[in-house]
Amino acid sequence: MNNMDPDAGVPGHRCGGMLLLAAWQTFSAHWAGKLKWLVAPSCGDVAFAVRSAFAAGLSLVIAMAMELDSPQWAPLTVWVVAQSSRGESLSKARWRIAGTILGCCVAVGLIAAFPQSPALFFGVLACWIGLCCGMATFLEGYKAYGLVLTGFTSAIVATGAIMQPDQVFDIAMARGTYIVLGVVCEALLALLFMPGLQAHARVRLITRLESVQALVRNRVTCLVEGHPTTELDQSPLLGELTAAGSRIEYDALEAGGYGHMADHARAALAGLLVMLARAEGLATLKLLPASKVPTSIRKDERSIDEHVQACLTHRRGDHFRFRIRSRRHTLEAVENGVRACAGILVGWLLWEVTAWPAGPTFMSLLALVYGLLATRENPVVASAPFFRGAVWCVLAAGIYVTLVLPALSTPELLVILLMVPMVIGGLAARNPATAGYAFSFNMFLPVLMGPNNQGRYDEVSFLNTALAFLGAVLVAGWTYRTVLPFRPDSHMQRTARWTSRQLRELASANNRVSVYQWLSGNADSLVRIVRNAQGIALPQRKAFARQQFSGMVSGMHVILLRELALAPDTPRNVQQAFRAFLRHWEQDDGVVVTRQAAITARWLDRQVAQMPPQQQEIFEHALLSLQLLACAQPMELP
């Protein structure tokens, strides 16, 4: 009996222990996966977090050493401009400085124009911020951010000076000093942490181009060989092309921007989009001999390879230019402007009715939150993690204000102790699942702590500022959800109608939209909606994808026919035939257009047989365009 297992008579004990062990292992694995960004970060994530945290701390120490009145704005600027790549940081810093200068000038003008008229002052300020947010919709990258920054900088400076209007110039100069100081500190630390930046940037640009080129070639091979694919299957590839296009400017900045590297890279991506759309059209026809299919595609490939090689070397006398134009959605611009304008007016009314002593701080933070969220692809979705990050920021700042700051006597000790939460925030910013939280946490942590040379930030002031901050985030989120909210389904319907209307206008001789502008605009819309339309029924998403792809391919061929109809070396009878077809395309419905395309294709087939060999290849491509347009069917969304 003494050798028997003491648990032999109670099998439930061992079973219960095994269940507890399994539950603990499952729990540990779950949280290990969620916290991998914190407990096992990559070297790149650690470098970004430490670099950005140290730059923020350095800017705070310098600002306090200069005895500036609000030194906490300097580290906020560091976190605003700190990006994963040096090119992004350079671009954002450049536009941030430009927007700050213009915003400070506007703020001085507003205070001078309405010193005793708060209603007019806030009315004009709201309209100005709404105009900046609306016009930013027409811009791309950090140009849009720079314009939005102009608006909320005006609000920050003007509301900061509303109680002392005679000091508005000094306040504007101080805000500009914080911005420049933060940008310089971030740039200095980035240079120290990123040796060999130019060489790495060139390699990264070429690697990115070759990677998307390989993806497009694989997809084109599948299309030409007849393997079935759906339009939604192609959206990730279009997403890769869109992302690569948005990164070109930053890679070129990092590489030194020599020659026309960015222009050749954009042209290479344009060629990839054209090749993909051409293969889509050839796969749709399914009536060509296999030997004819690769001819035009091989020509596209040669052009793409030439542009990729041109990115590697700087050739003297290279005057190549390739410019793109962002897609204009006027209704979206109006909605963005109205939302921002309404939010500022709502904030002013709250301040006016309650006579809140922290009203100026609330209005400054409200304008700043609007500016930060306005450039997001979907502000409604972005506002939820932004608020959660704000709550964590208030909690962390509260601990420092009540427990840490009273025990410190020098700013250097404060910065050393701040490195822990700032490094954690930097690591969170590199993790997609927590980036939304880190977005607000990193920027506003020093703002809520309010370090000052002249005295300690007391708990009452902290609570007032924290309440103003959380109130600003809540008001901004509420406005985005109630005032003309962004709805993927309505945006999908609106984009489909816009595409159909623009598709007709492509046939006009006065239309100047290029093939790449047309393809990139449609690809960007498709990628954006697929990314934000997970709540929409799958049949509707598929129908939209079919409509966008059909429009992309048809539009490309209409533009090619339009260019041939306007080319001076096109035979006169062919010009007249193309122009007649384009008039039908612009004015008639789908049935008449497809019949006219088939008639014109049969006529052109007879003409091509009589042309000289050097012209046959050009007009064989035009014949393919007409044959594809004869097969195109209009797509309606369910």
Region of poorest pLDDT, from 63-77, 217-231, 397-411, 414-428? 217-231
Residue 467 has pLDDT above 90, yes or no: yes
In terms of residue numbers, what domain contains 512? 488-631
The pLDDT score that the predictor gives to residue 317 is: 63
Is the residue at 16 inside a domain?
A: no
Residue 94 has pLDDT above 70, yes or no: yes
CATH number of the structural domain spanning residue 204 = 1.20.120
CB 171 within 8 A of CB 157: yes
Residue 399 has pLDDT above 60, yes or no: yes
Residues 299 and 383 grouped into a single domain: no
Residues 498 and 620 grouped into a single domain: yes
User: Where does a domain end: 312, 345, 371?
Assistant: 312
Residue 22 has pLDDT above 80, yes or no: no
Token pair, residue 571, equals: 């035979």
**Residue percentage of the chain with pLDDT more than 70:** 81
User: Where does a domain end: 482, 515, 550?
Assistant: 482
CA distance 157 to 150: 11
Is the residue at 27 inside a domain?
A: no
CB 548 within 8 A of CB 526: yes
More confident residue, 316 or 440: 440
Residue 410 has pLDDT above 90, yes or no: no
Residues 208 and 248 grouped into a single domain: yes
Quick one: CA dihedral 32, 34, 39, 43, positive or negative? positive
Residues 63 and 178 grouped into a single domain: yes
The pLDDT score that the predictor gives to residue 12 is: 52
The pLDDT score that the predictor gives to residue 275 is: 82
Residue 391 has pLDDT above 80, yes or no: yes
The pLDDT score that the predictor gives to residue 421 is: 92
The pLDDT score that the predictor gives to residue 531 is: 67
More confident residue, 416 or 318: 416
Is the residue at 473 inside a domain?
A: yes
Residues 393 and 469 grouped into a single domain: yes
CA distance 220 to 274: 11
CA distance 155 to 100: 11
The pLDDT score that the predictor gives to residue 638 is: 47
Q: Give the closest residue to 107 by CA, choosing from 180, 176, 169, 177.
A: 169
Question: N- to C-terminal Cα distance for the chain?
Answer: 77
Tell me how far the alpha carbon of residue 98 is from its chain's centroid. Answer: 20
Residues 437 and 460 grouped into a single domain: yes
Residues 460 and 352 grouped into a single domain: yes
Q: Which residues, 6+ apart, have CB-to-CB distance to 531 below 8 Å? A: 239, 377
Q: What distances in angstroms separate CA 307 from CA 221, 320, 329, 374, 401, one per listed residue?
A: 21, 10, 31, 35, 56
More confident residue, 2 or 503: 503
Residues 460 and 369 grouped into a single domain: yes
Burial class (CB in 10 A: 0-12, 13-18, 19+), 583: middle
pLDDT averaged over the chain?
80
Is the residue at 13 inside a domain?
A: no
Q: Which amino acid is at 332?
A: E
Q: What confidence category does residue 195 fall into, taking pLDDT thresholds of 50, 70 and 90?
A: low
Q: What confidence category does residue 530 fall into, taking pLDDT thresholds of 50, 70 and 90?
A: low
More confident residue, 629 or 397: 397
Radius of gyration over every alpha carbon of the chain, rounded to an integer in angstroms: 30
Q: What's the whole-number mean pLDDT along residues 618-635?
A: 77
The pLDDT score that the predictor gives to residue 402 is: 87
Is the residue at 3 inside a domain?
A: no
CB 275 within 8 A of CB 304: yes
Residues 303 and 354 grouped into a single domain: no
Region of poorest pLDDT, from 412-416, 531-535, 617-621? 531-535
The pLDDT score that the predictor gives to residue 215 is: 85
Is the residue at 116 inside a domain?
A: yes
CB 598 within 8 A of CB 630: yes
- Condensed to tens digits (0 to 9), the pLDDT of residues 504-526 reads 888 898 888 888 778 877 777 77
Is the residue at 158 inside a domain?
A: yes
Burial class (CB in 10 A: 0-12, 13-18, 19+), 380: middle
- Condensed to tens digits (0 to 9), the pLDDT of residues 178-192 reads 888 888 888 787 777
The pLDDT score that the predictor gives to residue 126 is: 92
Q: What's the whole-number mean pLDDT along residues 616-638?
A: 73
Residue 299 has pLDDT above 50, yes or no: yes
Number of domains observed in the structure of the chain:
3
Residue 7 has pLDDT above 60, yes or no: no
Residues 185 and 213 grouped into a single domain: no
Is the residue at 119 inside a domain?
A: yes
User: Where does a domain end: 250, 283, 312?
Assistant: 312
The pLDDT score that the predictor gives to residue 289 is: 46
Residue 616 has pLDDT above 70, yes or no: yes
The residue count of the chain comes to 638
Residues 159 and 239 grouped into a single domain: no
Residues 222 and 85 grouped into a single domain: no
486 sits in the region (left: phi over 0; alpha: psi -120 to 50; else beta) called beta
- Condensed to tens digits (0 to 9), the pLDDT of residues 335-376 reads 888 888 998 999 999 998 888 888 888 988 888 888 888 777
CA distance 430 to 425: 9
Residue 6 has pLDDT above 50, yes or no: no
- pTM exceeds 0.75: yes
Token pair, residue 15, equals: 């079973």
CB 586 within 8 A of CB 630: no
The pLDDT score that the predictor gives to residue 562 is: 92
Q: Which residues, 6+ apart, have CB-to-CB distance to 405 below 8 Å? A: 414, 449, 451, 456, 457
> What DSSP designation does 331 have?
H
Q: What confidence category does residue 387 fall into, taking pLDDT thresholds of 50, 70 and 90?
A: very high
Q: What's the whole-number mean pLDDT along residues 381-404?
A: 90
Q: What distances in angstroms separate CA 175 from CA 33, 126, 222, one per listed residue?
A: 42, 20, 56
Q: Quick one: angle between helices 613-631 and 538-566, nearest 10? A: 150
CA distance 362 to 347: 8
